[in-house]
Amino acid sequence: MNNRRTFIYQLAAAGLALSFSSCRGEKNIADDTTLDAYIPLLIDDENELNTPVPEGKRSSFGWNYFEIPKNGEAVKFNVPDLPSRSVLPIYLRLFVALEVRDQLEVTITLAESGRVIGTLPVWYANTMQLFECKLDVEAKRLKKEGLRLTLSKGNESLYCYDFSAEAGSHIYLDNGEDQDPSKNFIASLCSLKSVNTFGWMEGCVTDSLDEMGRSGVFPQANDALDKHLKLFLPDNKNIIYEDYHGRPKDNVHTNWEGGLPFAAIVKRYPDHPSIKLFTDFCESRIENGKTKGASLTTEGCYHLAYPLAAIANAKQNKEWFEIALIELDERIQYLTGVDVVYQRASKNGEQTSFQNWARGYAWFLLGLVRSYPLLKKSGLFEGDPRLKRIQQAFEEYANVALKYQQQDAGWKAYIDLPETSFDASGTAGIASALMYGYGLGWNVDFNEQKQLAARERLEKSLTSDGFLKDCCQVNRGGEELQKGTYRVISQYAMGLMAHLYI
């Protein structure tokens, strides 16, 4: 690990509870038949921790990790704290430490007998994503033998955090009958278990934590937000992070969909130098009052224009307000059609993709509705037709989304394709956007009762300890993956969902 990076994290450590044991509270993991708990997954040979990662990449936060190698070699783990008389469902959980751009499969066997007790598909994972597999084994047998993990499919190694990390791999005993998933959802969100790669994923969480904290209903969200941001801003000079590929990006910003965390950062650390990195990048995108690129995506509404508007509001900077408005107005122009929102389109109209993809639809609506109050409040755009177009576009496409809402109050992965399956991430984003539009008094039929119905649908997809399942995977496998049935747990989607509790 880079020594400078290690030193910076040591400076921040005093203010952070990085041990995953903090998530366990005061629970006793003694021999018990009803207890649910996080059980340490301990690697048999500690020399196998923190093996070199691929050249040019870096694991985050100095957390320990292990490698399940692509050569097919097995890695052994022990679970000495597992209550041997427990009859609760047993889950293996892996927290990914470096992104995956392949369809991997982990075969789980008992260490001594070699009996297969589970297989876990890990497809196109993002860093800090949780995967779980229910194990076909009794607690007594698992405790006695331990387990081995082997990659049975795929062409790259799988790197995962060990139990010493806040988001560490572990065995989970699920006492679902006595749990309140919605309560545990808030607890898991308001911790470092919901941390993501810096950029749009972490921004989905920090934006909701910021709103929750300022609402006064969830004071614990303020502390959680501070802990999240300190991971990336350990002092008043540096921003330390890796991009989605695991490449170090300390003190630089070059990502047009990576700015969302700055909406919260500017409120906590208004003079942090990282903010200028983002605003300089935003300025570099504009020439003669237009964006420079040949194509645009809906991500830029929520992940670029909105945080820039938040910074402009904090700094009262007219130029940044104007850039945010340009970014939004062009996306309304180029990414929409009759009853259609495209996630991506070329400005010449020759190429479009991801038509009415739920998560792309959510980025579009969230960016419009979160930016509008800031632009309006500035007083700089009275009579400007672009401001009116934001409201009109939101109302038009919000009502298109409502037309395709399912009877269970959710949305499909592609909102107008009934053959696609429910997507919790898209549902959470669209529902939260509609909630904000309704709150502004716009023409959006999404009252409190309908907001609650959407929230209750999402709560059906929570694990007992509050993680959100049934999400389309991050978009690395193309439209085929999004239209398929593969679903995952996604912590960033928890951030999208959390707005519905405010």
Q: What is the pTM of this model?
A: 0.93
Query: What does each of the 502 residues of the chain score in pLDDT, given as a tens digit?
Result: 333 333 333 333 333 333 333 333 333 333 333 345 899 999 999 999 999 999 999 999 999 999 999 999 999 999 999 999 999 999 999 999 999 999 999 999 999 999 999 999 999 999 999 999 999 999 999 999 999 999 999 999 999 999 988 779 999 999 886 667 889 999 999 999 999 999 999 999 999 999 999 999 999 999 999 999 999 999 999 999 999 999 999 999 999 899 999 999 999 999 999 999 999 999 999 999 999 999 999 999 999 999 999 999 999 999 999 999 999 999 999 999 999 999 999 999 999 999 999 999 999 999 999 999 999 999 999 999 999 999 999 999 999 999 999 999 999 999 999 999 999 999 999 999 999 999 999 999 999 999 999 999 999 999 999 999 999 999 889 999 999 999 999 999 999 999 999 9
> Which segments within 8-125 are labelled E, that is strand?
37-40, 42-43, 65-68, 75-78, 90-96, 103-110, 116-123
Query: Reduced to 3 states, what is the DSSP secondary structure of residue 108?
Result: strand
The sign of the dihedral angle between the CA atoms of 99, 368, 412, 481 is negative
Give residue 211's domain range: 181-501
Domain end point (choices 130, 159, 178): 178
Helix (H) or strand (E) holding 444: none
CB 412 within 8 A of CB 404: yes
Query: Reduced to 3 states, what is the DSSP secondary structure of residue 369?
Result: helix
Residues 129 and 240 in one domain: no
CB 151 within 8 A of CB 68: yes
* Max CA distance (Å), the chain: 74
Residues 431 and 314 in one domain: yes
Residues 258 and 333 in one domain: yes
Residues 118 and 194 in one domain: no
Residues 169 and 187 in one domain: no
Strand partners for 132 = 93
CB 114 within 8 A of CB 87: no
Residues 312 and 456 in one domain: yes
Q: What are the C-alpha distances in Å from 85 to residues 33, 39, 148, 208?
A: 6, 14, 22, 40
Query: Reduced to 3 states, what is the DSSP secondary structure of residue 91?
Result: strand
Residues 55 and 140 in one domain: yes
Which DSSP state fits 167? T
Residues 391 and 242 in one domain: yes
CB 63 within 8 A of CB 163: no
CB 113 within 8 A of CB 145: yes
Report which residue type is found at 182: S
Which DSSP state fits 53? P
Q: How far apart are CA 237 and CA 75, in angstroms?
A: 40
Structure tokens at 366: 């969230």
CATH number of 285's domain: 1.50.10.10
Query: Reduced to 3 states, what is the DSSP secondary structure of residue 329?
Result: helix
Domain end point (choices 178, 206, 223): 178
Structure tokens at 234: 């350990």
CB 282 within 8 A of CB 323: yes
* Residue environment code for 34-58, b if the CB has 16+ CB neighbours within 10 A, otherwise e: ebbbbbbbbbeeeebebeebeeebb
> Which segments within 162-201 are labelled E, that is strand?
170-173
Structure tokens at 67: 């490698």
CATH number of 7's domain: 2.60.120
Structure tokens at 205: 């969480």
With CA atoms as reference, report the closest residue to 367 among 425, 442, 429, 283. Answer: 429
List CB contacts of 330: < 8 A, sequence separation 6 or more. Answer: 290, 291, 296, 347
Total number of domains constituting the chain: 2
Residues 269 and 347 in one domain: yes
Beta-carbon neighbour count of residue 286 at 10 Å?
Answer: 15
Q: What are the C-alpha distances in Å from 117 to residues 46, 73, 161, 182, 463?
A: 24, 17, 21, 30, 21
CB 57 within 8 A of CB 185: no
Residues 191 and 157 in one domain: no
Residues 187 and 130 in one domain: no
Residues 89 and 238 in one domain: no
Domain end point (choices 125, 151, 178): 178
CB 487 within 8 A of CB 440: no
Tokens 């747990």, located at residue: 489
